Structure 1
Amino acid sequence: MSLRLSTVILPVDRWHEGGRAKWQRAEELGFHAAYTYDHLSWRTFRDGPWFGALPTLTAAAGATERLRLGTLVTSPNFRHPVTLAKELISLDDVSGGRITLGIGAGGNGFDATALGQQPWTPRERADRFVEFTTLLDRLLTEDAVSQQGTFYSAEEARDIPGCVQRPRLPFAVAATGPRGLRLAARHGQAWVTTGDPKLYEEGTPEQSAEALRGQVERLGKACAETGRAVGGMEKILLTGFTPERSGPLESLDAFVDFAGRHQELGFTELVVHWPIADSDFAADQAVFEKIATEAPAQLAAAG
């Protein structure tokens, strides 16, 4: 597979004060897809503007024509499969079949307790992720679903006419542990990782590459266990969380080097954060746009 370049646009701008323009510019620059985080708030942005992911994607669908759109990632923290399925089917319809659902187990923090619940244990979070994803898969592919689960249930939940994309919109499953990788192998059209979080502060690029190589290998084993060829699955790296941090966005050459090394590891899509001044995702906009327009051709030529 050739390497695709995508971006993630955090929902921090009012739609008519820069929000719309970013999504339209992402399409003009030729990105394969533009994603957004599906959180109620996030880390250093918690005390500033932060808009909902699905309404933002709906607006982006109306403001663009070709760009794929999606979440990186949606989690069970404050979502329920029954209501989420209805919203996704509607969004897939509005966009003309351009939606990818990034889905993960979620983590601790504000999203994990915003509805008043106690934080889940790692075991419960993993259990919920499996049940959530399995039920959501059914809801998006069947007209009516009844299922009683430990955490999530549906009673004659109807989702007619279903997704524009058949049999349903694609799942990009974020996972690094054994259970999550098996879930990705069973239900994912793509797999997502941010690398090894333990290496973010003090790790080296070489250590990060080795960790990512190991993740790809474990994904391959999980696919083999389900009788699936791992080569047919998209492998997505959400950048900005490896030891290189924002370094690859400092120049076109730096990015092409970074991207080429990760393409060799088997990744088929790299996602870069749209620059946000005075944040962890600060970058020169002109350099960012040069990377978007020129890096794919250089990588294709090198490959």
Structure 2
Amino acid sequence: MSSLRLSTVILPVHRWHEGARDQWTRAEELGFHTAYTYDHLSWRVPFRDGPWFGALPTLTAAATATSRIRLGTLVTSPNFRHPVTLAKELISLDDISGGRVTLGIGAGGSGFDATVLGREAWTPRERADRFAEFVPLLDRLLAEDAVTHRGTHYSADGARNIPGCVQRPRLPFAVAATGPRGMRLAARYGRAWVTTGDPKLTEEGTPEQSAAALHGQLKKLETACSDTGRNVAELDKVLLTGFTPERGRPLESLDAFVDFAGRHRELGFTELAVHWPIPDSGFATDQRVFEQIATEAPRQLL
């Protein structure tokens, strides 16, 4: 059975010198494989009207405060990003971190980010259309010195990205997708595939239904890889936890988490990302239990 990596997601809700820096350095001390953050301009209740900092500046600060842990977004989307400017920032971040950056990337949703720039939210089809153009262009921008492209939604005119990424040919993509078009992008461009499970099951579903849905998603990924001539085993399979029917219960104890993690490893997942505890939210978890899980669960799952 394959090994299972444990990563964390640190929401950017604290000032850097008032707790945030300590979280990122502690994540490295605890041995997490990757520390991610969300790439939003604001997020859902209860975070909507509270502090929320930018993802890429936060990751840049984290890169200077750590030396080993990988860093990434989970996930960046076209909702307020353009491939040309994003590529420049990612190349800079990859350089500052010494090649420790993973870009989690998805089509985006219909939340606050979708309308904050003063436009109507895109339909699911429009999001998929833009994503299908965004990812290949970003792939080129990160891997080539100069790019010119004329697209339906995104263009580049002699965009220079010298010296490129520290990681060659570019930093890795972790593509969040559940639909067929997104799965094909993951199969072609991804080092990893990301899911949160089936959102229709979050509130009313059962763990068994969730496992069946995740199994179905993994089979679709396998088909997409086969269609593109790629071995699905080459991709990491990442579950962003906290949105399946179990919600926060797997973090209530070490035994509960080991059981949860073992079941999802058997499905085929190679990485679980757990949210850093935030009191008085859906991510409230006993910090001591959380740190026990971080340090002891990987050994029990060997």
Q: TM-score, normalised by structure 2?
A: 0.99
Q: Distance in 2 between matches of 1:85 and 1:46?
A: 28
| Alignment partner, residue 235 of structure 1 | 237
Matched residue, 2:210: 208
Unmatched tracts of structure 1, length 5 or more: none
Map Cα deviations across residues 31-72 of structure 1 (whole Å, 9 max, x no partner).
000000000011010100000000000000000000000000
1:79 aligned partner? 81
> How far apart are 1:232 and its partner, in Å?
1.1
Name which of 91, 95, 106 aligns with 1:89.
91
Amino acid at match of 1:293: T
In 2, Cα distance between the equivalents of 1:117 and 1:79? Answer: 14
Output aligned runs, 1:36-75, within 5 Å.
Answer: 36-44=37-45, 45-75=47-77
- Which whole-Å CA distance do the structure 2 matches of 1:128 and 1:190 have between them? 20
Q: Distance in 2 between matches of 1:153 and 1:206?
A: 45
Once superposed, which parts of structure 1, at least 4 consecutive aligned residues long, lie more than 3 Å away?
A: none
Write out per-residue CA displacement over residues 96-129 of structure 1, whole angstroms, 9 at most, x where no aligned residue.
0000000000000210011111111111110000
Which among 150, 153, 171 is matched to residue 151 of structure 1?
153
Q: Does 1:115 align with 2:126?
A: no
CA offset at residue 217 of structure 1? 0.6
Structure 2 residue matching 1:154: 3-state secondary structure: strand
Name 2:5's counterpart in structure 1: 4
Q: Among 107, 119, 126, which residue is 2:128 paired with?
A: 126
Please give the residue correspondences for 1:141-220 in structure 2 after superposition, counting only pairs within 5 Å.
Answer: 141-220=143-222
Q: Distance in 1 between matches of 2:66 and 2:175?
A: 25
Q: In 2, distance between residues paired with 1:144 and 1:276?
A: 43
C-alpha offsets along residues 118-171 of structure 1, whole Å, 9 cap, x if unaligned? 111111110000101110000000000000000000000000000000000000
SS at match of 2:301: helix
Count of matched residue pairs: 300
C-alpha RMSD of the superposition: 0.4
> What one-letter code is carried by the residue in structure 1 that aligns with 2:21?
R
Among candidates 285, 288, 300, match of residue 287 of structure 2: 285
SS in 1 for 2:71: strand
2:266 to 264, 267, 279: 264
Q: What is the SS of the residue equivalent to 1:5?
A: strand
Structure 2 residue 12 is matched with structure 1 residue 15: no
The amino acid across from 1:68 in the alignment is R
Cα distance in structure 2, aligned partners of 1:278 and 1:63: 27
Partner of 1:33: 34
For 2:110 and 2:4, the matched residues in 1 are separated by 32
CA distance in 2: counterparts of 1:284 and 1:130, whole angstroms: 40
**SS of the residue 1:43 aligns to:** coil
Alpha-carbon distance in structure 1 between the residues aligned to 2:239 and 2:300: 19
Q: For the residues of structure 1 that align with 2:37 and 2:146, how far apart are their CA atoms?
A: 29
The residue identity in structure 2 corresponding to 1:30 is G
Structure-2 residue corresponding to 1:273: 275
- One-letter amino acid of the counterpart of residue 281, structure 2: S
Q: Residue 160 of structure 1: SS of its match in structure 2?
A: coil
Amino acid at match of 2:39: D
Quote the Cα distance in structure 2 between the aligned partners of 1:86 and 1:275. Answer: 32
Rounded to whole Å, the distance in 2 between the matches of 1:284 and 1:167 is 41
- Give the aligned partner of residue 224 of structure 2: 222
